[in-house]
Amino acid sequence: MNASKTYTVKGMVCQRCITILQYELEQHHVKVDDVSLGKVGISFQSDNFNDSKFLKIISSLGFTLSINKNNRVVEQVKVIVRNYYTHTDPLETKMRFSDLLSDQLHMSYDTISSIFIAHENTTIENYIIAYRIELVKKMLGESEHSITEIAYRIGFSSIHHLSKQFKDLTGTTPSDYRAQANPKNVISNSSDNILMAGI
């Protein structure tokens, strides 16, 4: 999944700093969208790059990452999303996710949402959908769970709901994705085949 992000970097004091940082990022297959003194906007494959790698690159050049309150809020949201969809059963959780965020971050959901949109250029809702679809793709490729079971485990209300969101983001169906990702792992599940008919 492609992603983009803007970082605030301390220690960049001249044009040479910009040139060196841009070169080093490109050596790590990161596309630099915009760079100026103290600010870097990049595009990357989210499964191959993260904040830790970015920090390692800039640290090797003598720069440091400037982390403000809003950055921390965004990172906390991502951690909560990850924990929510990997360590809980979303279908059995009574608390709404927006209430969970407000409760854990001690801020109104509107404020959290505004910070997230400004930082990530997407809504929390769209980020969650993309994250869940990535989990589904991982399970389709690596597990032998039926698509129905995967839909339940990731918190989709039905296989139809999963299929619609999956196709909207990937352009293909879960069953076709599984066949392409790992042909040996395709399961002949009659209930899935019936449910997926026409999707």
Asked if the domains 2-65 and 127-196 are classified in one and the same CATH topology, the answer is no
pLDDT band for position 103 (50/70/90)? Answer: very high
User: What H or E segment, with its residue span, contains residue 46?
Assistant: none
Q: Among 16-20, 31-35, 68-72, whose mean pLDDT is lowest?
A: 68-72
Asked if the model's pLDDT at residue 199 lies above 60, the reply is: no
Q: Among 88-92, 122-126, 136-140, whose mean pLDDT is lowest?
A: 88-92
Q: What are the extents of the domains in the chain? A: 2-65, 69-121, 127-196
What's the chain's average pLDDT? Answer: 82
Q: What residues have CB less than 8 Å from 199, skipping those under 6 apart?
A: 160, 163, 164, 167, 173
pLDDT at 197: 40
Fold of 127-196: Arc Repressor Mutant, subunit A (1.10.10)
Q: Is 21 exposed, middle or buried (0-12, 13-18, 19+ CB in 10 A)?
A: buried
Looking at the domain covering 2-65, what would its CATH class be?
alpha beta
pLDDT digits 0-9 by tens, 67-82: 677 888 888 899 899 8
The long-range contacts involving 145-152, CB below 8 angstroms and separated by at least 24 positions, are 146/187, 146/189, 146/191, 146/192, 147/174, 147/175, 147/178, 147/189, 147/192, 147/195, 147/196, 148/189, 148/191, 148/192, 148/195, 150/174, 152/91
Name the pTM for this structure. 0.59
